[in-house]
Amino acid sequence: MIGRLFRGRSNLRQQQNKPAASDGINRDPERLPNSTQVLAASIARDLELLGSITAKAELDMLTYLIDLARVEANRAAGSRAG
């Protein structure tokens, strides 16, 4: 009876140290720094991509505003000449 109790506790302890396959979280302390570095690199790439998308959108908006200003300037010049 006591041997069975200790075996049960040992099995429970082994199961707690294993990473849970269902939740996708790696709980292995030896691999945690590597996982953290991979996550940090992924976030950095996402932020870099977001930054380039934002910069492209800003450039497109400035180009549009410059074109709009040219159209308005030509329209104003045409109304003065006519």
pLDDT value at 65 more than 70: yes
Q: What is the pLDDT of residue 8?
A: 54
Q: What is the pLDDT of residue 25?
A: 58
Quote the CA–CA distance of 73 and 75 in Å, as a whole number: 5
Question: Mind listing the pLDDT tens digit for each residue in 23-42?
Answer: 555 556 566 567 777 888 88
Task: Provide the pLDDT confidence category of residue 9 given band limits of 50, 70 and 90.
Answer: low
pTM over the 0.75 mark: no
The residue among 9, 32, 7 whose CA lies nearest residue 19 is: 32
